Amino acid sequence: MDLSRSDDNIANRVRAMCERIDIGTAAGFYFYNLSVTELRGGARVVVNGREMGMFASYGYLGLIGHPRINKAAQDAIAKYGTGTHGVRMLAGTLDLHCELEETIAAFKGTEAAVTFSSGYVTNLTTVSSLVGRNDYVFSDKLNHASIVDGCLLSGAKFIRFRHNDMKQLEDKLKEVPADATKLVIADAVFSMDGDVIDLPNVVKLCKKYNAWLMIDEAHSIGVLGKKGRGIEEHFGVEGTVDIKMGTLSKTIPSVGGYIAGSTDLIRYLRHVSRAYIFSAALPPAQAAAALEAFRVIEDEPQRVADLQRNTELFITGLKDRGFNTLLTETAIVPVICGSDEAAFMVTGEAHAHDVFVLPVISPAVPAGLARLRATVTAAHTPDEIEHAMDVIEGAGKKIGII
């Protein structure tokens, strides 16, 4: 197909997106897909040849590059090579995978756990393995795209409730037949706003209406709770979430996703999940890195405390400087700029002063609420955070949003 001549829907879509990218680039407003070329210590990276403070990382506990984790990955390559013999169900399972899954289960306080090749795929396959046509799935409106896609793929009736609105969740649960199969799903920490799901009340509603509960802890592992065990520890309601999902690509500096839950739930997924049965196992180096990361979190509890101190400092400091940070309570701190252009301009200013933050615009967030999606980690020093906030303040004043 000749793209320059064709005008079917595919060609038109491709052209429209490329034009949008070209316009953004020409205006100096394109900040995506930049490459980091080097790590320099805990929270500094080299981008575009410049060393910058990293304020856009998902590595909340600062574990990327941790010597113990690097060594575990290297040792695994020496022992097993770089790949597996295929899918987990057939020849792809290594003792490392089993050890990783037992460690995750212990960390999450469940009987068992299973891993998949990404967090995205974990949500897709888990939701679609658990519910189908005739069932109902209830999803918070701000849930991550991978949850939405899993719900759509499942074919279940897809019911969305207003963000963190328990009254509306209850109204919607009431509307469906009492004997229908129901699954409620929410992020623990919402990935664009940084706020936390009202878990105690979701649990109550799930009990009252006989619904299963699945929580995505992509941004809550290592972040919430004194020991970083996540949302149940945060609220002191251990053992209340039926299906605990998480990723191995954020706080855990590897790749992959997991589900932790009862032995039988996990056995079911190992024999039904298409992503488990038809997609290759995690490579040894990544499984070993993830495993070692869980051990480091236990051995170095100070990291969780440092993250929580830094979070407090960052949120309070930005609010005191006059920024709107919505309802965040976590390391994800939205800095509301308003229009897409304002978010781009503030980003450009921050980069010019070597603070690496990234803008999030519509449709990822509602129009008019374009923002910097800034994050803080355990690896930042208080001085680095103060400096970054001063830079963001200067940019905000220059652009006129504060």
Ligand X SMILES: *Cc1c(COP(=O)(O)O)cnc(C)c1O
Measured from the CB of residue 116, what is the shortest distance to ligand X in angstroms? 9
What would the 3-class secondary structure string for the chain be? CCCCCCCCHHHHHHHHHHHHHHHHHHCCCCCCCCCEEEECCCCEEEECCEEEEECCCCCCCCCCCCHHHHHHHHHHHHHHCCCCCCEHHHHHCCHHHHHHHHHHHHHHCCCEEEEECCHHHHHHHHHHHHCCCCCEEEEECCCCHHHHHHHHHHCCEEEEECCCCHHHHHHHHHHCCCCCCEEEEEECECCCCCCECCHHHHHHHHHHCCCEEEEECCCCCCCCCCCCCCHHHHHCCCCCCCEEEEECCCCCCCCCEEEEECHHHHHHHHHHCHHHHHCECCCHHHHHHHHHHHHHHHHCCHHHHHHHHHHHHHHHHHHHCCCCCCCCCCCEEEEEEECHHHHHHHHHHHHHCCEECCEECCCCCCCCCEEEEEECCCCCCHHHHHHHHHHHHHHHHHHCCC
Q: Is 118 in the site for ligand X (CB under 6 A)?
A: yes
Measured from the CB of residue 219, what is the shortest distance to ligand X in angstroms? 6
365 or 399: CB nearest ligand X:
365
Closest chain position to ligand X (CB): 119
Measured from the CB of residue 117, what is the shortest distance to ligand X in angstroms? 9
Q: Is 120 in the site for ligand X (CB under 6 A)?
A: yes
Measured from the CB of residue 316, what is the shortest distance to ligand X in angstroms? 24
345 or 375: CB nearest ligand X:
375
Residues 131-160 that bind ligand X (CB under 6 A): 144, 146
Contact residue for ligand X among 57, 191, 308, 311 (CB under 6 A): 191
Using the contact rule CB under 6 A, the part of the chain among 148-156, 193-201, 215-223, 338-346 near ligand X is 215-223
Q: Is 257 in the site for ligand X (CB under 6 A)?
A: yes
Phi, psi of 90 (to 5 degrees): -100, -110
Q: Is 221 in the site for ligand X (CB under 6 A)?
A: no
Q: Is 249 in the site for ligand X (CB under 6 A)?
A: yes
Does 353 participate in catalysis according to the annotation? no
120 or 323: CB nearest ligand X:
120
Catalytic residue among 144, 219, 234, 244: 219
Q: Is 219 in the site for ligand X (CB under 6 A)?
A: yes
Q: Is 126 in the site for ligand X (CB under 6 A)?
A: no
Catalytic residue among 66, 234, 244, 250: 250
Residues 305-344 that bind ligand X (CB under 6 A): none
Q: Is 197 in the site for ligand X (CB under 6 A)?
A: no
Specify whether the CB–CB gap between 136 and 176 falls below 8 A.
yes
Does 191 participate in catalysis according to the annotation? yes
Spatial separation of the C-alpha atoms in residues 197 and 184, rounded to whole Å:
12
Catalytic residue among 57, 128, 191, 254: 191
101 or 216: CB nearest ligand X:
216
Q: Is 164 in the site for ligand X (CB under 6 A)?
A: no
126 or 209: CB nearest ligand X:
126
194 or 257: CB nearest ligand X:
257
94 or 121: CB nearest ligand X:
121
Q: Is 115 in the site for ligand X (CB under 6 A)?
A: no
Orientation of helix 340-352 relative to helix 382-399, angle to 10°: 130
Select from 12, 19, 20, 14 the least CA-distant residue to 363. 20
Residues in contact with ligand X, total (CB under 6 A)? Answer: 14
Does 128 participate in catalysis according to the annotation? no
Spatial separation of the C-alpha atoms in residues 243 and 250, rounded to whole Å:
19
Contact residue for ligand X among 183, 196, 218, 389 (CB under 6 A): 218
Give the residues lining the site for ligand X (CB under 6 A).
118-120, 123, 144, 146, 187, 191, 216, 218-219, 247, 249, 257
Residue numbers annotated as active site: 191, 219, 250
